[in-house]
Structure 1
Amino acid sequence: MTSGRRRRRARWLGALSVGVAVVMAVPNAAVAADNLPPLQPVATDLTTGSKACVAGDDRPYVSSAPRVTAVLNDPVEDDGPAEGNFVTAEFEVWWTDGDGIEQRRSHHSPGLVDSGTAATWQLPPDLPPWTVISWRVRADDRDAVSPWSAAEDGGAGCEFVIDDVSPDKPTVTSAEYPEDADWTDGVGVYGTFRFDSPSDDVVAYTYSFVGGAGGTVAADGPDGSAEIRFMPESAGLGYLQVYAVDRSGRRSPGAVYYFRVKGGRSPIGQWTLSDPAGSRSAAPTAGPAARAGAGVTFGGPVPPGTSLTSTATLDGTGHGFLTPATQVVDTGKTFAVGGWVRPAALEHDMTITSQDAGTAPGFTLGTRGVGGEPVWSFGIGIGGTRVSGGRPETGEWAYVLGLYDTETGRAHLYVNGQEAGTAAEATPSTVTGDFQIGRARGKAGYRNRWQGEIGDVRTYDRVVVPSEAADLARRTPQERGHWSLEAAPEGLSPELHGGEPLKLGGGASVYREPVQACEPWIDPDCDPVPVVYPLVGSGHLDLDGISGHAATAGPAVDTGDSFTVAAVVKLADQEPAHPMTVFSQGGEHSDAFKVRYVPAALRFELVMSHADAQGADETVVGIPAPPESSSGQYRIAVVYDAAFDRITLYLNGWESAVAPFRSSWKSAGGLQVGRGHAADGWGEYLHGSIDEVQAYSGALGEAHLAQLGLGVEPCLAC
């Protein structure tokens, strides 16, 4: 601290400690040679509550006596820098009462503040409402005082008015969604909601939809009203709450508005493409029939877990297309288009659907090469705006949907029920022509023809909301096997629904809870039989760790597509001499998947090989095995989700490990329980017990996985 500041601070503290009155200096008075007077506070450093210092017609309205704030500055002194300079604030507030008499109050801040920091004063609570009140401030460094502050417009002080009356409750109306009326359109359809208030000082409205959007909108209508646009994303009773906010920040009582929303409108065009083999046109579920070219073959395969009965196969030639020979969607308005597809080749750009716009397409949905790699892509309108994301794979099913929303002006792409890429601003084409399936218009004719399967093509004249996109892409998992391992007559443990049984190998047996032949508490000569309870139900599979296993004759799941396999396991040895496989399924040389316990790491691992070859690359994820519970059981599940190229290992229904995986292959071998492939053949035999082996085509979600291993079958349609 410089000598000047030390002298001044000593004078301040001395005066304060003995209660000596300090004579206030006045502007332009002589000051000590080493001191400069504080600077005049400027309007930009003053606030009335949270509002700027303003005088005149733009003065702020506040809901109660505010706290005023001023940043005070003492300049650099002759003998040192300004840091550490101390000042105090003198505030003054005044107004003219109802009798025309000026009322004035002042306040000195009780403590010292550093130069450049804020001093505040909470104004008295009894200030009169609906009266123009002014305030000002000046800084005092005990040697000199600054000039009084002034408002930004040059007024003598900052001004405000206290508004102690809240605005009246607003009214809400909507033509598209009238209050308490019949059910109206609908999910994916925008409506206008208008807010109004009988109060004349409302500046904004705050609103919230139950379970949906909320916000604040300015009352910018000539009558103090405001409008918002809102799109329901779910059917049912809608609930909107609105408050009017006046210029002081006071909020009105809430207005509650109820409206009823129907489900989303049906497609305006739909072709399941499940027509009989030999058909030369596709019958519509909605819209016009679509003529099929000679390169279209009906009766193709379907994505598992869907309601489709067949699809159309397009050969990729100039004859592989379908068209209703008319416009189906209005590309200048909101629309969505999508369908199930399985590409047979990806060497060139391919079109799922498009619509002509002169010698160019108004939109295209399909695949496109980006950086040498194929991606799903939705292109629309003038300038060829494209949204791309997700990676198509030959022979793999996907549900692809493109959406253009005129309200937001943005194009969206959904792949397998999830938004892909980044939504982009788009300018749609106003030129319309014929709708196309399997090809797109170019200057020299049609091009980018589809090769592979297409099914259930749909077009909408509204927004398809995210939950609907997920429903359209949903593939319900199908149970492929459930082995409860309660018994094994003739060495075969049956599948619960009559499917292929598990055949027990040497060193494997089904344990059942023993029956007590006598009653020890009645017969003193009765020796009680030691009871070991089965893992689940009345029996389980015991394996000796040497050769014990059980297997199906053929594959339980298609490992080239999504699948789920689960089991309950109890280890007889937490620290065996080698890894132990819980279950696996593979080919001649390796396992397409294998779940094993690794004693060296004390964890369970999911191992996915990239090919049916010894030494093939592997993707491995693992979870540490927690200390055994009282039951000593672990519930294990493996999920491969081909739609998102993801593998997940679950332990006890909640802990999981995830990794990307894009190297699946279809295995021909049976499901193996208790063993897996090793370098010299079968190995990694499990020493322990296994129960409730379950297999599904499709990727089960976490809610269903939590039910596995409990002796029940999950509701897959729930």
Structure 2
Amino acid sequence: MRTSDWRRAGVTCAAVALTTAAMTGVATAADDTEAPLAPVVSSAEYPDDANEHDGVGSYGTFVIDSASDDVVSYRYEWMGGVSQTLTAAEPGAPVSLRWLPQTRGVTYLYAQAIDAAGNVSARTTYFVRVGTGRAAVTHWDPQHDSGAATGTGVTPDAQGPTGTSITSAARFDGTDEAYATLDSPVDTAKIFSVDAWVRPDTLDADMTAVSRTGFSLGTTTNSPGGTPTWSFALPTASGGAVHLTGGSPEPGEWAHLVGVYDTEEHAARLYVDGDLVTTAENTVAAGGTGPLRLGSEGDTEGTEDTGHWHGLLTDVNVWDRVYVPKEITAAATRAPQRQGYWDLETAPGGSSPEYAGGAPLTLAGDASIHTATDDCDVNPDCTPAQYPLVGSGDLLLDGDGDYATTPDAVRPSDAGFSVATHVRIDGDTATHDMTLLSQPGLHTSLFTLRYVAASKSWQAVVAHEDSADAPTTTVTAPASPFGAQEDEFLAVVCDEKTDQLRLYVDDTYVSDSASVTGKDTWTPTGDLQIGRSVTAGTGTDYLTGELDEVHTYAGVLDQTRLAMLRVGGADV
């Protein structure tokens, strides 16, 4: 029958094709409505069994293969991730997926096969149980020096960075004898990571904290304007070098440095204090083997050392895997150290006890602990009492010589300091400046948190040295417009890591901030003052109102801890 005859009979071309296919036994993609067989997933590094395998920071290969010979691609998705597709090299061929686990625990991989007709198979679920990342291949600190050969310019008598579990550090004096050498089997042509806690004493020349054949980690002045920066350098296979720089080192301040080289991604990365500051793509490192050198960039073939480290150094680690971001953030975190917490619930004998048994707050003048009760739950005609800010009591001050004090002063660490309190004043009747908290030294106050009457605002002032004419930094935020009934939570945070002074009012968002780059904190000698300032031994700016929940910390309170303190009580 001719085609025109088929059309007159009402038969379409598609029907002709189907009939022809049926007669000849040849199928087309349009004919195929059968889903391919679900794929099988396998991995040598991370088999799907009841055990944890390898771990965080170590790549694994996952082979995805369906027994159907017309499969052209595979759709896959990690738990909670975005669906992606891999194309087979030819119909029926398997595909391989490389994966780097970032966290320990159980996860799963979904996989489906897709054939040329677009049919999708049932989903295969492959469980992966990831173990903790492998420990560092090489570790050094002054207490566990791993058999290092140490020069006479190294003295292991310093303290480690506060707010960490690292208790010791070594002083490197910047001379030819300021070095430590120890074995390290890691091949830096392959995946490796290195970290260290470092504290430079000077920044007038390039300095190397950690090095070996294949990399160096330290500081450099080879940047625009000659400004010192942190540095991670690697010689490349082509005979050149990559220099990753970033961050702002400051003399006398600790920093956590991490260098990572990932051959899978052909990338090198530099992290400073937990933050990724620079990445070098398309990097193929020359690598090499040999001893690890601390405090200088030594050459194993006998050439002269360079870049001698002048400062403190501790907790050096080298891994033969990727040190992943979550691990880096955890290692760089410095927890604030609580110095004092006074809940101001009671004051037996005129002293309000400190939460952990430290020095109490001694009440002076007519200062008292305010408590209140009423019978409003049974008497509808009652006059509601004004209850304390937090809990059953707070500190009541009348502005006429009332205050409290404690010798448990605010003593900043090299990470900074934080203070917080609750306050209630009547802004409509407050006609003079009033101090909530202040920490005097010999000549000035390290900080003052106060109410400014003219602008009806809160103000925090920090002095950068203990002198009568010390330079200061100020942050300001409006006080509540709701007057005498308003409970406001205030916090002052001086953050040496970010070089910021921050003022928080009520919520956990910064109300005001200012840069304190290059301006260090100092250790005051006076007693902490509650409800007044002290100038030349004389009290001024006495507070009229109520204060509660006074907290002092060495180090930086983050937003989580601030939120906890705002609702009252000690942090965990």
- The TM-score range, normalised by the shorter chain, is 0.7 to 0.9
C-alpha separation between the residues in 2 aligned to 1:364 and 1:377? 8
C-alpha separation between the residues in 1 aligned to 2:506 and 2:16? 65
Taking structure 1 as reference, are residues 294 and 514 closer, same or farther at Cα in structure 2, changes over 3 Å only?
Answer: same
Mapping for residues 332-351 of structure 1, pairs under 5 Å = 332-351=189-208
Q: 1:460 aligns to what?
A: 319
Q: 1:446 aligns to what?
A: 305
Q: 1:558 aligns to what?
A: 412
Task: State the TM-score, normalized to the length of structure 2.
Answer: 0.86
- Are the counterparts in 2 of residues 129 and 163 from structure 1 also a CA contact under 8 Å? no
- Are the counterparts in 2 of residues 405 and 463 from structure 1 also a CA contact under 8 Å? yes
**Match 1:296 to one of 134, 138, 154:** 154
C-alpha separation between the residues in 1 aligned to 2:53 and 2:133? 10
Q: 1:27 aligns to what?
A: none
2:520 corresponds to 1:664:
yes
Mapping for residues 296-315 of structure 1, pairs under 5 Å = 296-315=154-173
Q: What amino acid sits opposite 1:541 in the alignment?
A: L
Q: 1:690 aligns to what?
A: 547
Q: 2:424 aligns to what?
A: 570
C-alpha separation between the residues in 2 aligned to 1:613 and 1:446? 42
Mapping for residues 314-713 of structure 1, pairs under 5 Å = 314-324=172-182, 326-356=183-213, 362-369=214-221, 370=223, 371-382=225-236, 383-441=240-298, 444-506=303-365, 508-513=367-372, 531-553=385-407, 555-558=409-412, 561-574=415-428, 576-613=430-467, 616-628=470-482, 632-657=486-511, 658-662=513-517, 663-668=519-524, 669-676=526-533, 683-713=540-570
Q: What amino acid sits opposite 1:294 in the alignment?
A: T
What are the superposed Cα offsets for residues 417-452 of structure 1, whole Å, 9 maximum, x if unpaired?
Answer: 221233444221243222101110369511101111
Q: 1:156 aligns to what?
A: none
Q: What amino acid sits opposite 2:202 in the alignment?
A: A
2:216 corresponds to 1:216:
no
Q: 1:205 aligns to what?
A: 74
Please state whether the residue corresponding to 1:706 is helix, strand or coil.
helix
Please state whether the residue corresponding to 1:364 is helix, strand or coil.
strand
C-alpha separation between the residues in 1 aligned to 2:83 and 2:152? 53
Q: 2:22 aligns to what?
A: none
Q: Which structure carries more relative contact order (alpha carbon 8 Å, separation 6+)?
A: 2
- Are the counterparts in 2 of residues 130 and 161 from structure 1 also a CA contact under 8 Å? no
Taking structure 1 as reference, are residues 667 and 598 closer, same or farther at Cα in structure 2, changes over 3 Å only?
Answer: same
Offset at 1:172? Answer: 1.3
C-alpha separation between the residues in 2 aligned to 1:688 and 1:611? 31
Please state whether the residue corresponding to 2:329 is helix, strand or coil.
helix
- Are the counterparts in 2 of residues 576 and 599 from structure 1 also a CA contact under 8 Å? yes
Mapping for residues 227-242 of structure 1, pairs under 5 Å = 227-242=96-111
Please state whether the residue corresponding to 2:553 is helix, strand or coil.
strand
What are the superposed Cα offsets for residues 626-656 of structure 1, whole Å, 9 maximum, x if unpaired?
Answer: 4449962112222222222233322224332
Question: Structure 1: which 5+ residue stretches go unaligned?
Answer: 1-93, 105-126, 133-158, 276-281, 357-361, 523-527
Q: What amino acid sits opposite 1:311 in the alignment?
A: A
The share of aligned pairs that are identical, in percent, is 39
C-alpha separation between the residues in 2 aligned to 1:380 and 1:548? 63
Q: 1:176 aligns to what?
A: 45
Q: What amino acid sits opposite 2:353 in the alignment?
A: P
Q: 1:85 aligns to what?
A: none
- Are the counterparts in 2 of residues 181 and 259 from structure 1 also a CA contact under 8 Å? no
Offset at 1:694? Answer: 0.9
Q: What amino acid sits opposite 2:346 in the alignment?
A: A
Taking structure 1 as reference, are residues 160 and 606 closer, same or farther at Cα in structure 2, changes over 3 Å only?
Answer: farther
What are the superposed Cα offsets for residues 55-98 of structure 1, whole Å, 9 maximum, x if unpaired?
Answer: xxxxxxxxxxxxxxxxxxxxxxxxxxxxxxxxxxxxxxx99999
**Match 1:272 to one of 133, 141, 162:** 141
Taking structure 1 as reference, are residues 391 and 586 closer, same or farther at Cα in structure 2, changes over 3 Å only?
Answer: farther
Mapping for residues 56-67 of structure 1, pairs under 5 Å = none
Please state whether the residue corresponding to 2:409 is helix, strand or coil.
coil
Taking structure 1 as reference, are residues 694 and 163 closer, same or farther at Cα in structure 2, changes over 3 Å only?
Answer: same
Offset at 1:709? Answer: 4.5
Taking structure 1 as reference, are residues 218 and 366 closer, same or farther at Cα in structure 2, changes over 3 Å only?
Answer: same
- Are the counterparts in 1 of residues 247 and 277 from structure 2 also a CA contact under 8 Å? yes
Q: What amino acid sits opposite 2:174 in the alignment?
A: G
Q: After superposing the two structures, state which structure 1 stretch, 442-451 or 339-348, moved more.
A: 442-451
Q: RMSD of aligned C-alpha atoms?
A: 3.5
Please state whether the residue corresponding to 1:404 is helix, strand or coil.
strand
2:12 corresponds to 1:103:
yes
Offset at 1:485? Answer: 1.7
Please state whether the residue corresponding to 2:411 is helix, strand or coil.
coil
Mapping for residues 2-17 of structure 1, pairs under 5 Å = none
Offset at 1:246? Answer: 3.3
Please state whether the residue corresponding to 1:537 is helix, strand or coil.
coil
C-alpha separation between the residues in 2 aligned to 1:190 and 1:98? 61
Offset at 1:395? Answer: 1.0
What are the superposed Cα offsets for residues 453-478 of structure 1, whole Å, 9 maximum, x if unpaired?
Answer: 11111111101111111121222222
Taking structure 1 as reference, are residues 129 and 639 closer, same or farther at Cα in structure 2, changes over 3 Å only?
Answer: farther
- Are the counterparts in 2 of residues 638 and 647 from structure 1 also a CA contact under 8 Å? yes
Task: State the TM-score, normalized to the length of structure 1.
Answer: 0.70
- Are the counterparts in 1 of residues 427 and 456 from structure 2 also a CA contact under 8 Å? no
- Are the counterparts in 2 of residues 390 and 421 from structure 1 also a CA contact under 8 Å? no
Please state whether the residue corresponding to 2:345 is helix, strand or coil.
coil
What are the superposed Cα offsets for residues 39-67 of structure 1, whole Å, 9 maximum, x if unpaired?
Answer: xxxxxxxxxxxxxxxxxxxxxxxxxxxxx
C-alpha separation between the residues in 2 aligned to 1:705 and 1:292? 44
Taking structure 1 as reference, are residues 425 and 496 closer, same or farther at Cα in structure 2, changes over 3 Å only?
Answer: same
Q: What amino acid sits opposite 1:365 in the alignment?
A: L
Q: What amino acid sits opposite 1:660 in the alignment?
A: S
Offset at 1:322? Answer: 0.5
What are the superposed Cα offsets for residues 105-149 of structure 1, whole Å, 9 maximum, x if unpaired?
Answer: xxxxxxxxxxxxxxxxxxxxxx769869xxxxxxxxxxxxxxxxx
- Are the counterparts in 2 of residues 602 and 625 from structure 1 also a CA contact under 8 Å? yes
Q: After superposing the two structures, state which structure 1 stretch, 615-624 or 681-690, moved more.
A: 615-624
Q: What amino acid sits opposite 1:463 in the alignment?
A: V
- Are the counterparts in 2 of residues 386 and 424 from structure 1 also a CA contact under 8 Å? no
Q: How many residues are matched?
A: 551
Offset at 1:586? Answer: 4.2
- Are the counterparts in 1 of residues 111 and 123 from structure 2 also a CA contact under 8 Å? yes
What are the superposed Cα offsets for residues 599-637 of structure 1, whole Å, 9 maximum, x if unpaired?
Answer: 444443333334444565443334444444996211222
C-alpha separation between the residues in 2 aligned to 1:501 and 1:550? 10
Q: What amino acid sits opposite 1:476 in the alignment?
A: A
Q: 2:24 aligns to what?
A: none
Q: 1:257 aligns to what?
A: 126
C-alpha separation between the residues in 2 aligned to 1:612 and 1:100? 104
Taking structure 1 as reference, are residues 162 and 585 closer, same or farther at Cα in structure 2, changes over 3 Å only?
Answer: farther
Q: 1:55 aligns to what?
A: none
Q: 1:82 aligns to what?
A: none
Taking structure 1 as reference, are residues 478 and 375 closer, same or farther at Cα in structure 2, changes over 3 Å only?
Answer: same
Q: 2:25 aligns to what?
A: none
Q: What amino acid sits opposite 1:184 in the alignment?
A: H
Offset at 1:247? Answer: 3.8
Question: Structure 2: which 5+ residue stretches go unaligned?
Answer: 20-27
Q: After superposing the two structures, state which structure 1 stretch, 385-394 or 481-490, moved more.
A: 481-490
Please state whether the residue corresponding to 1:459 is helix, strand or coil.
strand
